[in-house]
Amino acid sequence: MLTSAKHNGFVEIRIVAPLSRHETVANQIKKLLDIKEVQVVSPSANELAINAVGRAAANALTSNLKGNQTIAISWGRGLEAAVVHCKKDSLPGLKITQIMGALSNVETSVTADEIGRTLARNLNAVFVPFNAPVVVSNQKIRNSLMQETSVAQALDLARNANVALVGIGSHGSSSSEMVLNEFNLSLGEREDIAKDYAGDIASRFYNTAGKMLSTILDSRVIGLTLDEIRKIPRVIGVANGAEKVLGVIGAARSKLIDCLIIDLACANSILKVLSASEMRTA
């Protein structure tokens, strides 16, 4: 019967390798950055680091879910890797929505709407789309769109989410460069931003101290503000690679993240940067 079920596609057998966790490193980062929960993982043999981070993020998201809750998500490859591993028995009243509008200049599979649809499908949840661009040309257009009923309702749902799953962008990373492209900045404007920004979450940029970077950029974004994201009871931040170090540090100092899930390369870079900073101030 099992052989027949496998042949007909009703049964699938997969071997899921256990995650390699680095508790000592995680505890160091937890203490240094004052984050409630930190997970540092390494991939198994023949596995990409981003997939290991995704598996850990999926477990962190689904382990505490209950019925009638709302999950708000941003975008990125880390989230794409996470949602494909999200599997859980159906929960009544579970909803998925977006923290932000959709980016136009990125691959479809990593945008918030595609990730939200995949997550909703895997969790048998209801997806509430955010039908708006994430960046518009000026504040007047932003204010007008945010008054549209569908946009206002999606934003309100996201504000009252029980948990958020967010990707963390960082200075020089490809994800942050994609977001900056949405703003169509001049070369001079882009150079000015590059001097100060550490990272971004949901297209909101901040510096290494965790402070909002630019009110001009912020006024063109359709989505939750950093303050609104911070108020969500549980925010799970996902980052992969050494290049994400400044974005993670800034997000932690901004108190945006309750649970941080990163790979060992990112963790080691964080410790290196923080150690160098301590030596300079000693």
Q: Where are the domains of the chain?
A: 19-281
Query: CATH number of the domain at 19-281, out of 3.40.50.1360, 3.40.109.10, 3.65.10.10, 1.20.1240.10?
Result: 3.40.50.1360
In the Cβ-directed half-sphere of 209, how many Cα atoms lie within 13 Å? 4
pTM: 0.90
Tell me the pLDDT band of 276, cut-offs 50, 70 and 90. confident
Of the CA atoms within 13 Å of residue 61, those in its CB half-sphere come to 34
Q: How confident is the model at residue 166 (pLDDT cuts 50, 70, 90)?
A: very high
281 or 168, higher pLDDT? 168
What is the separation of C-alpha 222 from the centre of its chain, rounded to a whole number of angstroms?
Answer: 16
Q: Which amino acid would we find at residue 128?
A: V
CA distance 72 to 79: 12
Question: How high is the mean pLDDT of the chain?
Answer: 90
Tens digit of each residue's pLDDT (9 = 90 or more) over 107-147: 767 888 999 999 999 999 999 988 899 999 999 999 999 99
- Spell out the residues 6+ positions from residue 115 whose beta carbon is closer than 8 angstroms to its own: 73, 75, 79, 80, 83, 109
String of DSSP letters for 43-61: --TT--HHHHHHHHHHHHH
User: In this model, does residue 196 exceed pLDDT 60?
Assistant: yes
Percentage above 90 pLDDT, the chain: 71
The confidence band for 102, taking pLDDT boundaries of 50, 70 and 90, is: confident
Please determine, for residue 95, whether its predicted confidence score (pLDDT) is greater than 50.
yes
Q: In this predicted structure, what is the pLDDT of residue 11?
A: 57
Is residue 70 over pLDDT 60?
yes
The model's pLDDT over 5-35, given as tens digits with 9 standing for 90+, comes to 666 666 555 545 556 789 999 999 999 999 9
pLDDT for 191 equals: 86
CA separation for the pair 59, 41 (Å, rounded): 13
Q: What is the reported pLDDT for 115?
A: 94
Residue 88 binned pLDDT confidence (cut-offs 50, 70, 90): confident
